[in-house]
A and B are shown apart, each in its own frame.
Chain A
């Protein structure tokens, strides 16, 4: 067993380090001085639209139902228990949405939606030689293509998460009012109890880190595609998988550092 484990480790380690090194080398190129600030500014606005504004619909839809489900589950567990106050429903919904559901689950959803868009866009550009064309023109293609995506996601994702928090809590409130598990007063009371601005700060910080991971990891997989359309599809899948795994690992690390 030990021999198998060691063999696997020997096989996997070089691949891991080569990807790790290539990823960081790519990052050093991404953060070089842009050739033309005006063009980059325009690209950032375009990317905010593509990566952020166009994801608003799915974020709102998912958040409403996440908030509603959290509220329903909490309510169904405590509503006939006389020892637990009704405001716990609002409190649990708020804490779940702010601390975990809005930043982490929405980032995972965005890793799927945005990550595949980025990887397939860059992958297609690579296999159709559009990236080579940029390089020949003397443009730092890595910075031109990746930096606006990183900046756009880091700027817009916190707003998406703030909207998700609000809409999720609203979803919970609709359920409470609709089912009669608690009064609006109890729900709002629960939402306000022991509220600390730090919770939102923690959630937004996580979101910024996740936005960086989604855009850079997906760009890495798309930018270095070799082959044709099949490989572009595979890169897109890898982008989503690796981004999601990294988000979950970093979620644990950040929580350990900031909340414990």
Chain B
């Protein structure tokens, strides 16, 4: 479980995160949603330690991450997996080498064991027969899946996904969402997905945190989000004219 308590972060005097508190459960798809520039990515970067918050706590199973020394942080990071917006696969390594990389760095497995584990992870995300290709030789959707395979290679306890659907068509997006959701259940991970894709929210959102102007203004599930009575959230959820019409019809029906 990850708990964020009273997190504040500013850049050059501009307050980006203001008193953010939230709890992210194990075995669930925890979604952080909000408009572009609302502070979602900054919150995630503070959670994984790529940024240091001005104040507040990020607790991994009760341990305050930002109070740990370099080695302590390293131990928690070994339990993390992250899927980046642009996949962040290593250009100079093949698909198989990318997935094997964390295993090479942190385990004492033999080469054949590492290959077996990497192939298992790649098969789990439906990447078959692409082992020797480089990231530039596969499609964006495949790159995302390889990045997921790399993220789960070490059996992480915490999985972070930064806009996993960006740049993907709606069908592939749903495939990726469902894959992350299945893996979350399968490995009982605490998965945190940053997104502004409403399809994802309605498809897989178990626990949703809505960030607006750097503040956490709503938390709930995907069924609750449709009936929430917060203007900023409704503006986000029902952004298109069509969705606004759907909402007014829903209200009339009630």
Interface, chain A (partner B; CB < 8 A): 32, 35-36, 39, 124, 128-130, 132-133, 135-140
A134-B177 Cα distance, complex, nearest whole Å:
24
Given A35-B105, A39-B105, A130-B91, are A136 and B86 neighbors across the interface (CB < 8 Å)? no
- Option from B70, B88, B101, B105 in Cβ contact (under 8 Å) with A129: B88
Residues of chain B contacted by A36 (CB below 8 angstroms)? 104-106
A128-B90 Cα distance, complex, nearest whole Å:
9
Whether the pair A135, B77 counts as a contact (CB closer than 8 A) is: yes
Given A136-B48, A138-B75, A138-B78, are A129 and B84 neighbors across the interface (CB < 8 Å)? yes
A137-B90 Cα distance, complex, nearest whole Å:
13
Residues of chain B contacted by A128 (CB below 8 angstroms)? 86, 88, 91
Q: How far is the CB of A131 from chain B (nearest CB, A)?
A: 9
Given A35-B106, A36-B105, A39-B104, are A138 and B74 neighbors across the interface (CB < 8 Å)? yes
9 contacts between A and B (CB under 8 A): A36-B105, A128-B91, A130-B90, A132-B84, A133-B88, A136-B50, A137-B78, A138-B76, A140-B74
Given A132-B50, A133-B82, are A138 and B88 neighbors across the interface (CB < 8 Å)? no
Whether the pair A138, B50 counts as a contact (CB closer than 8 A) is: no
A135-B80 Cα distance, complex, nearest whole Å:
10
Whether the pair B105, A136 counts as a contact (CB closer than 8 A) is: no
Is residue B220 contacting chain A, with contact meaning CB distance below 8 A? no
Residues of chain B contacted by A124 (CB below 8 angstroms)? 91
Q: How far is the CB of B210 from chain A (nearest CB, A)?
A: 25
A35-B73 Cα distance, complex, nearest whole Å:
14
- Option from A32, A35, A136, A140 in Cβ contact (under 8 Å) with B82: A136
Whether the pair B77, A136 counts as a contact (CB closer than 8 A) is: yes
Complex: chain B residue closest to A137, CB-CB: B102
A140-B88 Cα distance, complex, nearest whole Å:
17
Given A135-B50, A136-B77, A137-B77, are A129 and B85 neighbors across the interface (CB < 8 Å)? yes
Q: Apart from A32-B70, A129-B84, list 14 A-B contacts with CB within 8 A.
A: A35-B106, A36-B105, A124-B91, A129-B86, A129-B88, A130-B88, A132-B88, A136-B80, A136-B160, A137-B80, A137-B102, A138-B77, A138-B80, A140-B74
Residues of chain B contacted by A135 (CB below 8 angstroms)? 49-50, 77
Residues of chain B contacted by A35 (CB below 8 angstroms)? 105-106
A133-B153 Cα distance, complex, nearest whole Å:
14
A182-B81 Cα distance, complex, nearest whole Å:
70
Chain A proximity mask over B27-58: 1 for CB below 8 Å, otherwise 0: 00000000000000000000011100000000
Residues of chain B contacted by A129 (CB below 8 angstroms)? 84-86, 88
A140-B82 Cα distance, complex, nearest whole Å:
16
Residues of chain A contacted by B81 (CB below 8 angstroms)? 136
